[in-house]
Amino acid sequence: MNDSPAMPQGEPSPVPVEPAASTDPVGTENERLRDGVNRCPKCGSTEIQLRPATGMLICLFCRHEWAESAIEGQVFAEAPLSELSGTTIGSGAADIDGSVDDVVTLKCGGCGSEVVVNTAQAMSARCHWCRHILTINEQVPNGAVPDAVLPFALTHEQAVAAIRAFAGKRRIFANRRFLREFTPENVVGVYLPYMVVDGNAGADVWGHGEVLVRTYTRGSGEDKETFYDADVYQVQRHVDFTVDDLTIESSSERANMNTFVNTNNVINTILPFDTKNAVRWNAGYLTGFTSEKRDQDISAIQPVLEHQLLSIARSQVSPSVTGYNRGVRWEHERLEVRGTRWLSMYLPVWLYSYYHEEKGRGMVHYIAVNGRTGETMGSVPVSQGRLLAAAFATGTVVEGLVLAILAATA
Residues in contact with 180: Cβ distance below 8 Å, sequence separation at least 6, in sequence order = none
One-letter amino acid for residue 338 of the chain? R
Tell how strand 188-218 and strand 225-249 pair up: antiparallel
Decide: 380 and 178 in contact? Cβ < 8 Å. yes
Mean pLDDT of the chain: 87
Q: What is the pLDDT of residue 387?
A: 62
Lowest mean pLDDT segment, chosen from 76-80, 82-86, 91-95: 76-80
258 vs 120: CA distance, rounded Å: 24
Q: What is the pLDDT of residue 360?
A: 76
Q: What is the pLDDT of residue 305?
A: 97
Indicate whether 316 pLDDT > 80: yes
Length of the chain: 410
- Cα angle vertex 376, ends 373, 379, to 5°? 160
30 or 59: which carries more pLDDT confidence? 59
Q: What is the pTM of this model?
A: 0.84
Overall average pLDDT of the 74-91 stretch: 90
Among 136-140, 177-181, 334-338, which range has the highest average pLDDT? 334-338
User: Residues 118-130: pLDDT tens digits?
Assistant: 998 888 888 888 8
Residues in contact with 347: Cβ distance below 8 Å, sequence separation at least 6, in sequence order = 150, 191, 192, 194, 247, 273, 275, 371
Decide: 250 and 191 in contact? Cβ < 8 Å. no
User: Residues 203-215: pLDDT tens digits?
Assistant: 999 999 999 999 9
5 or 34: which carries more pLDDT confidence? 34
* Helices and strands per DSSP (H, E), number in the chain: 7, 17
Q: What is the pLDDT of residue 394?
A: 61
Indicate whether 311 pLDDT > 70: yes
259 or 225: which carries more pLDDT confidence? 225
Indicate whether 301 pLDDT > 60: yes
Confidence of residue 78 (pLDDT cuts 50, 70, 90): confident
Q: What is the pLDDT of residue 410?
A: 47
Closest CA to 312 of 247, 266, 249, 243: 243
Q: What is the pLDDT of residue 403?
A: 45
φ/ψ of residue 256, rounded to 5: -75, 105
Decide: 202 and 338 in contact? Cβ < 8 Å. yes
Query: Three-state DSSP class for 379?
Result: strand
Overall average pLDDT of the 254-261 stretch: 81
Q: For the chain, give every domain's residue range.
A: 10-30+68-100+140-204+236-406
Indicate whether 7 pLDDT > 60: no
* Cβ neighbours, 10 Å, residue 21: 7
257-261: list long-range contacts, CB under 8 Å, 24+ apart. Answer: 259/407, 260/361, 260/363, 261/362, 261/363, 261/364
Overall average pLDDT of the 337-351 stretch: 96
Lowest mean pLDDT segment, chosen from 185-189, 341-345, 384-388: 384-388
Confidence of residue 272 (pLDDT cuts 50, 70, 90): very high
Overall average pLDDT of the 20-46 stretch: 81
Q: What is the pLDDT of residue 70?
A: 93
Lowest mean pLDDT segment, chosen from 64-73, 249-258, 277-286: 249-258
In this prediction, what percent of the chain has a pLDDT beyond 70? 88
Among 131-140, 176-185, 343-352, 357-366, which range has the highest average pLDDT? 343-352
Overall average pLDDT of the 337-350 stretch: 97
